[in-house]
Structure 1
């Protein structure tokens, strides 16, 4: 699975060492048995570690030739007896811990041009910009006047960091990222093509023409946020657009002006958050969902993919549909419509 062209071969680890990394219990297998690769179930060979957490893949599990498997207690009996068992309450999180240990370079974008830290002679850095030690600036990048960048940060090729932007330590700014009117915390990851801090969409409409409303707020990105490729986050109109600590945003998401996203939220691809909407902590929104302006979504709420949220969602709510409603009600309506359609086809 891991191509040695892009990632160094993983070090061989024993089952005991892997159990410790994964936070799992070694329930079957020799503690000193060596594991030299990770693989999907269907491609695994001897010496490979796999994980199982979805019953859709039972057939692949039954025929796997892997040496060891990370598995939940409820699925232990489904694993072939020839496969060693690492039992975890949350196999996917254990798998994530193992991969992070084995392939740390896959955790964030790497330097595209060369690994050595320093400022490329083909980058443009304004003399008033302040860069701490151990900052990497790759060819074609532009660092504007008054910019501050913390130690350990990588700025990728052709990225543009406009004047007075602040970037924290150990950040990864991918190729072709554009930052303006923004303050970034530490360990922020921006994948290629992200645009942050451009105008929010604001016009005073009228018959004589639409008057542009200047957007004078900022974008605040807190620590440990990761933002996927080609996502756009508009700066605030009259207050800040905020993305809270630990939030993960997928590719091609649009965040409008004055949006306030809480801590540890998950926002999947092609979601659109309209201006002044608010997400409390730990909100999860499925792909291609739209959230109307000025709507509040409560803590821990979950929104199904391809939904339209045009009214408040309470904390802990599970909503879906167009317009979004509690999932039990949504499913009842879908079932009723299906029965009505089937009855109509019989007449």
Structure 2
């Protein structure tokens, strides 16, 4: 792949400073950049790195004195982070899937594939599947019968989409992720399970001791599908379970990291961000623009309001009102959790003070 600094400036909607005709083959961090790479240095703290590297051109912060850095050309941006989606998209070589359908792909005659498809080896597409225009489907992907997917989909190698799912435009599914697997739903037939009895006792205010119950589990089959909006991305090895009767839903613009689990019947809003190892239990509802940090757990059948932010490792057991920032296990307001942590750090000192007081009281008692 080759491009010029002028091409980058055009893609970012800004002007070139210095030479725009220098031919480049990639991007790199300032200290690692070679003569044919653009150095990404959108903050003044990277200035010394430019001097240590071999880059002739760079992407810089607004107002940078590019000539004093020894550069032949530059592009300056008011907010450097905004450049990253555009420049990385422009430089991404993609999966390398050739246009057309590979001879080894197995596609049911009733499936409908839109124009401009790129379908790699050993792809399997079931009966009645509909896929929009410009799909890129990597090797070993499988799509179950009756599933409908919009335009500009990108499915990475080994991704799985089960039957009866509905997915919008510009969907990205990373390798080994699974959309539409059966939900984890079981009941006991002869009598209530120990878990049900314990939860009932706790709700009534009784002690949650060991209880006896049935252990003969019967599967509740998942008859619903999964519905996903536009511009959604799901990371590698993540799973979204199909609903029991109604569909599990993921709103438009939502981004899901790797190794995330969304349980059956869950409803996730629009423009939600879920970081790695998040677990959303069945029938939970997550509002719009919610951010769940790494390893956040969400209990079943609860509601999280719009614009909630949950810090990493938070466990959410009860409803969270809109706009709240929470942290901890169980989740509390972030300022409350920070106060708790400050007090926890004082515990060793307080414990020693208590021991000293106990010794003093014991001595006074002995004298009395």
Same structural fold, with TM-score higher than 0.5 when normalized by the shorter chain: yes
What TM-score do you get using the length of structure 2 for normalisation? Answer: 0.78
Whole-Å Cα distance in 1 between the matches of residues 34 and 300 of structure 2?
Answer: 52
Q: Tell which deviates more after alignment, 325-334 or 121-130.
A: 121-130
1:195 aligns with 2:178: yes
Aligned length: 327
TM-score (norm 1): 0.82
Q: Which residue of 2 aligns with 1:34?
A: 22
> Could you tell me whether the CA contact under 8 Å between 1:299 and 1:316 is conserved in 2?
yes
Q: Are residues 123 and 42 of structure 1, via their aligned partners in 2, closer, same or farther at CA, if it must alter by over 3 Å?
A: same
- In the alignment, what sits opposite 2:165? 182
SS in structure 2 at match of 1:220: strand
Preserved contact between residue 160 and residue 179 of structure 1 (Cα < 8 Å) = yes
Larger Rg: 2
Counterpart of 1:330 in structure 2 is 337
SS of 1:340's partner is helix
Gaps spanning 5+ residues in structure 1: where?
Answer: 1-7
**Structure 2 portions without partners, runs of 5+:** 193-213, 357-368
Question: In 1, Cα distance between the equivalents of 2:315 and 2:295?
Answer: 9
Q: Distance in 2 between matches of 1:269 and 1:56?
A: 29
Tell me, yes or no, if the aligned pair for 2:309 and 2:325 is still in contact at 8 Å: yes
Separation in 2 of the partners of 1:339 and 1:54?
A: 39
Q: Structure 1 residue 47: deviation in Å?
A: 5.7
Distance 1:308 1:54 in 2: 36
Residue 27 of structure 2 corresponds to residue 11 of structure 1: no
Give how far 1:171 is off: 0.9
Structure 1 position 50, deviation (Å) = 3.3
CA deviations on 1:162-186 (whole Å, 9 max, x unpaired) are 1111122221222222212211112
* Superposed displacement of residue 40, structure 1: 0.9
After superposition, where does 1:1-347 map in structure 2 within 5 Å? 8=1, 10-14=2-6, 18-23=8-13, 29-30=17-18, 32=20, 34=22, 36=24, 37-46=26-35, 48-52=37-41, 60=49, 63=52, 66-72=55-61, 81-82=69-70, 86-101=75-90, 103-106=91-94, 109-111=95-97, 115-118=98-101, 120-180=102-162, 181-205=164-188, 206=192, 207=214, 209-344=216-351
